Amino acid sequence: MTTVTLISNHMGIDTYLELRKAVGFKPLSRTQAKKALEHSLYIVCAYMDAQIVGMGRLVGDGAVICYIQDLMIHPDFQHYGIGSVLIEDLIRYVEGLCEEGTEIMLDLMCAVGREPFYQKHGFISRPNENLGPGMIRYIRKE
């Protein structure tokens, strides 16, 4: 396999929208995509031979909570370890934000069946004996 190159905090709107479409994520408007990228704490893109093959994106306050919002690997490049390379880069970034004697919560929501991938990287599933289930609400304007 060709070497994966990571590039941080440099992603175009069209590239983001194309990758979302390729992995089957909900479509966004260009305005939504632009705002999402601009308001991210950190973005990391994976390239092979100058072609984007995946990306990860963090949102949050950078002090108490960070959230992995997007972890996407193009379907043609899944199962080559690219997701692990990206998530470990995201984790290292958050570790760098953490002040001595404190902790930062790193959260995510994943698709059904993807839990083992995230557990392999130290994430715990909810609900469990200490934590209730995660919740979500979609706000839509017609």
What digits encode the pLDDT tens for the residues 52-61? 999 999 999 9
pLDDT of residue 117: 94
pLDDT of residue 1: 54
What gap in Å lies between CA 65 and CA 97, rounded to an integer?
Answer: 10
Q: Which helix (H) or strand (E) holds 31?
A: helix 30-38
What gap in Å lies between CA 24 and CA 75, rounded to an integer?
Answer: 10
Q: Shortest CA distance to 46 belongs to which of 17, 88, 13, 14?
A: 88
Asked whether the whole model's pTM tops 0.85, one would answer yes
pLDDT of residue 40: 98
What gap in Å lies between CA 87 and CA 115, rounded to an integer?
Answer: 14
SS3 category, 64: coil
* Residues 39 and 69 sit within 8 Å (Cβ to Cβ): no
What gap in Å lies between CA 122 and CA 1, rounded to an integer?
Answer: 26
pLDDT in tens, the chain (142 residues): 568 999 999 999 999 999 999 999 999 999 999 999 999 999 999 999 889 999 999 999 999 999 999 999 999 999 999 999 999 999 999 999 999 999 999 999 988 899 999 999 999 998 888 889 888 888 888 8
